[in-house]
Structure formats: structure tokens, C-alpha cells
Amino acid sequence: MITIRRAEIKDVAYIAEGIFNAFLLEDNAIVLENRIGEGSIPLREKWMEILTGVCAQADTHYSYTNTFIAELDGEIAGMMIAVDGRNYRFQREKMYPQLKSLFDIAFGMGWEDMEDEAKLGEFYIDSLSVSQMYRNRGVGTALIEHAKLQAKALGIERVTLAVEPMNSAKILYQRMGFEFEREIVIFNEVYHLYMNGLESLTANEVNQTKFLQKICIIQ
């Protein structure tokens, strides 16, 4: 059985791991290792140290407060960072001082040079990661469905996400009602932004959101 819960401070290491795996393409790993590793501080440990610190803060884009944890049979199976567009720029800018040096080296640019991925009126799925041993068991689908329900609880009518053009995950997103909207450049790479326009709450969802509204509003 898959259950979804709000992340807690105890989950920050797992969240950081998911972000790290999503970010670190092989080419960037080589660049980072040559310029940040410096022998005594391995690449992975450097990234994990900084990301874990960012995830532990309550008001950053990668905060555990913006993260949902999927559990399968009581074990952590995946995570999703999803943010209210109204908080996007403020929370992203909170991370600049801590992540700027890493991102400048890895991608040749920082967030201040990048267009916004989310805007007011959108619930943006930034990162979604499923542990390898739990893949192909519906965890990703459950997390996305939870994002849609969470958006409805917040009164938001659009759920968005960005995906690489050749990523096979697009098939899943399309099957779940997401439609291509436009291209967006993220860290010098072209992504496809997909949007799911949400319908009104069903009777069952109304009951669920009464609980969600109490615990899931982004502060």
C-alpha cells in the first residue's frame, strides 16, 4: 500500500539525495569533480552537505516543508518537491547564497539568470524521485495524483512540471492528463513544460481537502 505524507525534518537527507540524483548529469559531474572536489572533499559529499542544509530550512524552495514522502509498506519509496507559484521566487532566492557557487560551476549560470519555472496560480512539481527498488510500482503516479489533490486544496487550478524532451516519463505525464504548453530553458538545457488543468473537486476530494488544508498550506 502506498501512502503519502508531508516530509519532516528527519527526511532531509533522503530529500537531498533525490535532488542530487535529479541534478547531476554525467557531464556536470565531471566538471564539478575537477573544480570542487579538491581531493579532500569528494563531489557527492560536498553536494549532499549543502543540499541537506538547504532542505532543512523551512522557507527555501527545496525545503522539507515543500516536500511529500511516499511510503510503500512502511518504507520510504519516493519523494516529490512541489511548490505554490506564489512562493516560488521568494523561496528560490533564499537558496542563492548557499547554492550559487555550486550551480555557477556545474551549469555556468545561477538561478538569477534563469526564467521562472512557476508562477502565480500554478502548483509546480519541481523534483520527483523514486528509489530504484520501488520503481514501476505506482509510486510516481501516486505522488503526482497527490500533487493534483494538494493543488485543489490550495485553490490552484494548474499543476505544472518540466521534463527533458527525450525523457520517456512524458508518456506517464500525458496519460495522467498533462499537456505540452511551451519550452523552457533550465540551466542552459531546453525542457518541455507540461500543464494539467484541474477540474472541480469531487465529493470525496472535498472531504480529503478539509484535512489537507489544515496541514499542507505552504507557510
Residue-range domain boundaries for the chain = 2-215
Query: Letter for the amino acid at 203?
Result: A
Instruction: Please report the pLDDT score of residue 98 as a whole number.
Output: 83
Of 23-32, 51-60, 100-109, 204-213, the range with the lowest mean pLDDT is 204-213
d(CA 102, CA 82) in angstroms, rounded, equals: 22
pTM of the complete model: 0.83
The residue among 137, 138, 106 whose CA lies nearest residue 28 is 106
User: Is residue 219 classed exposed, middle or buried when 0-12, 13-18 and 19+ CB atoms within 10 A define those classes?
Assistant: exposed
The residue among 42, 47, 163, 185 whose CA lies nearest residue 105 is 47
Q: How do residues 87-141 score in pLDDT, each as one tens digit?
A: 998 998 888 888 876 666 666 655 666 778 899 999 999 999 999 999 999 999 9
Instruction: Please report the pLDDT score of residue 106 as a whole number.
Output: 61
| φ, ψ (nearest 5 deg) of residue 76 | -65, 125
The rounded percent of the chain whose pLDDT value lies above 90 is 54
Instruction: Please report the pLDDT score of residue 26 as a whole number.
Output: 41
User: Cell digits for 163?
Assistant: 521534463
CATH-assigned architecture of domain 2-215:
3-Layer(aba) Sandwich (3.40)
